[in-house]
Amino acid sequence: MPNVIDLTKALIRCPSVTPLDEGAQELLVDALSALGFECHHLPFGEGEERILNIFARLGTKSPHICYAGHTDVVPSGSLDAWIHDPFDPQIVDGKLYGRGASDMKGSVAAFVAGISDYLKKHGEPEGSISMLITGDEEAIAKNGTVKVLEWMKEQGHVPDVCLVGEPSNPKILGEEIKVGRRGSLVCQLKVQGKQGHVAYPDRARNPLPSLIKLLDALAGYEFDKGTEFFSATNLEITTIDVGNVADNVIPDSGVAQFGIRFNDMWNQTTLVVKIKEILDSVGAPYDLTCRCSGESFLTEPGAWTDTVRQAVEDITGRTPELTTTGGTSDARFVVKYCPVVEFGLINETIHQINENADVEALEKLTEVFTRILELYFIQI
């Protein structure tokens, strides 16, 4: 059984930019099969949208703990900007460099290593350990975790609790456990006008003054002040486009896009109603389309959060804060089936040039995962 560093390196060497896998999941299947897991290959989608996923389980009884993660990574960016090839992992000054080192091949490797250490110390548990690994987390996530969970339900594999290995810590291992995430809504706002010559404005209808007023009303609105576990809902204007290449033409339309990260005071429906209410107060005609990539969710503090928190404290000496900050994750799908928390590596360099993971943190994370298994199964 390879150690956490060797397995992380092997996974990084697979250039698995979504939707490609390039052998990453087969590496995991080999490692998990050697530990006694029953592994299921679960591809979903067709053609360029085909995604490889795996579900592996050791044991058949409850309690059942599942680790959810992903082997796909974002593109590397400019190769010249990396100190090493992003898919040729190298250790420099105690840091393991490579695309996916922190997000999240290092965490996936740490859980496999953590299982191995647990089995060496305690043998197979009375319950079950499983891993849900997708290749579709960094993209639109329609042929990954969401479909594997549906398959798991059909096949009787719904876990009692789930741990998602996303990099949850800002600076130091042990700072934060994610117990939820804000919802995410992306909207497009369009104002239609009439094209014309700038010298003859009476023959045209400029859409931009109205668009500016509408955006100003949205940007200046305070949706809420936050809740116990969530920060205040915030709206960010991300682009304003006209497509006008001439300086003497009034454009025929203007389009803006904005994103909202919202807390548990809102859902997609109530938030869209509020947005339209704000826009209607301006009195200018508009067209609005919105897409929600995930509702806000929260795993209430309880036995499962206490177990993970205790394990982190036992190994790192730090008492982690329970937070809901950051972007969306596949935990938004898992929460519909069982309590879920997120704990993994440090997120300081994720999606960046020269992404890296601290070697000591990888080894400590392995110990945390082993300790989570010990505390979870000792409760039987």
Give the DSSP per-residue string, 204-238. Answer: SB-SHHHHHHHHHHHHT-------SSSPPPEEEEE
**Which listed residue (21, 72, 117, 358) is catalytic?**
72
Whether residues 89 and 200 fall in one domain: no
Please give the pLDDT value at position 294: 87
**Which of 261, 294, 327 is where one domain is finished?**
294
Whether residues 196 and 217 fall in one domain: yes
Whether residues 352 and 363 fall in one domain: yes
In one letter, which amino acid is 262? Answer: F
Output the six-digit token pair for 56.
Answer: 């592996």
- The number of folded domains in the chain is 2
Which residues contact residue 284 at a Cβ distance below 8 angstroms, ignoring those fewer than 6 apart? 191, 210, 213, 214
Whether residues 37 and 166 fall in one domain: yes
Q: Which domain holds residue 271?
A: 183-294
Please give the pLDDT value at position 1: 66
Output the six-digit token pair for 108.
Answer: 């996936």
**Which of 294, 316, 346 is where one domain is finished?**
294
Please give the pLDDT value at position 333: 94
Whether residues 141 and 203 fall in one domain: no
- The phi, psi pair for 18, rounded to 5°, reads -45, 130
Rounded Cα–Cα distance for residues 162 and 133 (Å) = 12
Rounded Cα–Cα distance for residues 195 and 168 (Å) = 49
Distance of CA 226 to the CA centre of its chain: 21
Low-confidence ranges of the chain (pLDDT < 70): 1, 379-380
CA angle 24, 324, 307 (to 5 degrees): 75
CB atoms within 10 A of CB 291: 10
**CATH for 224:** 3.30.70.360
**CATH for 63:** 3.40.630.10
**Which listed residue (117, 137, 166, 330) is catalytic?**
137
Q: What are 176's strand-pairing partners?
A: 321
Whether residues 155 and 11 fall in one domain: yes
* Nearest to 341, CA basis, from 298, 312, 375: 298
* Nearest to 309, CA basis, from 321, 293, 300: 321
Please give the pLDDT value at position 140: 84
Whether residues 259 and 130 fall in one domain: no
Whether residues 27 and 116 fall in one domain: yes
The answer to whether 137 is a known catalytic residue is yes
Whether residues 109 and 153 fall in one domain: yes
Whether residues 167 and 198 fall in one domain: no
Whether residues 367 and 228 fall in one domain: no
Output the six-digit token pair for 302.
Answer: 């309880």
**Which of 240, 259, 294 is where one domain is finished?**
294
Please give the pLDDT value at position 245: 87
Task: Match 């329609």 to its residue by tokens.
Answer: 142
Whether residues 273 and 226 fall in one domain: yes
Length of the chain (residues): 380
Rounded Cα–Cα distance for residues 349 and 168 (Å) = 12
